[in-house]
Chains A and B, each alone.
Chain A
Amino acid sequence: MQPQAVIVSSSGTVSEQTLSSELGWTLKPEGLCREEVCVLVPDRARLVSDAGVDLETFAELMDRPVVVDPVAGLTAIGAPREQRRGALNDLHAPDFALPDLDGGVTALSDHRSKKRLLVAFSSW
């Protein structure tokens, strides 16, 4: 689960449907769920209101960094911090998928079972 590109939301909230389609989590009676995993939601009223699911509360529950710009109506949500800590402390490479120059999407895991040299570079 890589960091999220920016989410458009004028109120800092999203519908449960968007939460599911954009962020991959579904609100169920047992908590926030993704595949077999559910995260408990201790204070449900703080997470969900008539306006929808509060993104800052969601990010906090998931231990993901978040910055909300209410004026622009944009929210950026980072990756769960444990993914980066897993890379730094446990040397486990977190997966990611990004657009490639051939017009497709390439993931680190597309080349699993190979020895990979990953190089971050730029034009600047």
Chain B
Amino acid sequence: MQDELHAAGHLEFQVLAVAIDNNVEAIRGFAENITFPVLIDADHLLTELYAISNVPTVLLIDEDDRIAMPNWSAYGTDTFSEFTGVSADRQHDRIRRWVREGDAGISSEDARAAVGDLTPEEEAARLHFRLAVALQQRGDADGADRHFDQAAALAPQDWTIRRAMMPLRGEDPFGQGFLDIYQDWRANGSPYHGLMGY
């Protein structure tokens, strides 16, 4: 989309992709032939700063650092549209319109109400996750497990905690453990810090 909009003369449009991930090689695989910057956020700093609880989460930020569209569950393709009930094409049209006309299609009032703040528990879970990653790098597997467990207990419905730790603990993030978390998340009302199905 960046190439398309640049070709149409909208050179002021810039995509920034942030991987909430410490698997740099896997991210490098995704990023082949990509022309925009790809950032690596192994410590999940962004999920704290913007109250992000799942990926993909998209934000539209204008020339004056104003958030035109807050945390938004938006997709590049229709791969998940059966799950999400949202057409990626419609979301892309919304982005194009914002770039061309400056209208993201959401009122300031709705944008301000769209994202609930992190709870103190969700906030602390991010710090425990960060400590677990640091301890794992030191080779302290027990210490890492202790903090991963605390993080999961503090934020059981947060995908950037629960699912993100799975590959770090040798679990398959697409396996049974994922389905268990998914069912639990659904049973708890599918909580998401932002706009879903929009």
Which listed residue, B21, B43, B143, touches A122 by the CB 8 Å rule? B21
Number of interface residues of B (CB under 8 A): 78
Interface majority SS on B: helix, strand, loop or mixed? Answer: mixed
Given A98-B39, A98-B41, residue A119 in contact with residue B143 (CB < 8 A): no
Q: Contact at B18–A76, with CB atoms within 8 Å? A: no
Which residues does chain B contribute within 8 Å of A111, judged by CB atoms? 14, 16
Given A74-B134, A108-B61, residue A117 in contact with residue B15 (CB < 8 A): yes
Which residues does chain B contribute within 8 Å of A116, judged by CB atoms? 13-16, 60-62
Quick one: CB contact mask for A70-81 with B, threshold 8 Å, 1 for yes? Answer: 011010111101
Quick one: CB contact mask for B87-99 with A, threshold 8 Å, 1 for yes? Answer: 0000000010011
Q: Contact at B140–A117, with CB atoms within 8 Å? A: no
B51 CB–A CB distance under 8 Å: yes
Q: Contact at B51–A84, with CB atoms within 8 Å? A: yes
B86 CB–A CB distance under 8 Å: no
| Stretch in B65-73, B77-85, B184-192 with 4+ CB within 8 Å of A | B65-73
| Stretch in A13-21, A26-34, A46-54, A87-95 with 4+ CB within 8 Å of B | A87-95
Q: Contact at B16–A118, with CB atoms within 8 Å? A: yes
Q: Contact at A101–B38, with CB atoms within 8 Å? A: yes
Distance in Å: Cβ of A123 to nearest Cβ of chain B? 4
Q: Among A98, A112, A115, A116, which residue has the most Cβ atoms of chain B within 10 A?
A: A115
Which listed residue, A3, A74, A114, A119, touches B45 by the CB 8 Å rule? A3
Closest to B118 in A: A84
Within 8 A of A (CB), among B139-175: 140, 143, 147, 163-164, 166-167, 173
Distance in Å: Cβ of A25 to nearest Cβ of chain B? 18
Q: Contact at B131–A106, with CB atoms within 8 Å? A: no
Closest to A114 in B: B14
Not counting A78-B127, A88-B51, a sample of 18 additional A-B residue pairs whose C-beta atoms are within 8 angstroms of each other reads: A6-B133, A65-B120, A69-B143, A72-B135, A83-B49, A84-B51, A84-B118, A91-B67, A100-B37, A101-B27, A101-B28, A101-B38, A114-B14, A114-B63, A118-B61, A121-B17, A121-B56, A123-B19
- Listed from nearest, the 6 A-B pairs whose CB atoms lie closest are A123-B26, A76-B127, A124-B173, A67-B127, A98-B39, A6-B134
A-to-B contact residues, CB < 8 Å: 2-3, 5-6, 65-67, 69, 71-72, 74, 76-79, 81, 83-85, 87-96, 98-102, 106, 108-109, 111-124
Can you list 21 residue pairs at the A/B interface with Cβ under 8 Å?
A6-B133, A67-B124, A74-B131, A74-B134, A74-B135, A76-B128, A84-B48, A91-B68, A92-B65, A94-B50, A96-B49, A98-B39, A101-B39, A102-B37, A112-B65, A115-B14, A115-B99, A116-B14, A118-B18, A119-B16, A121-B55
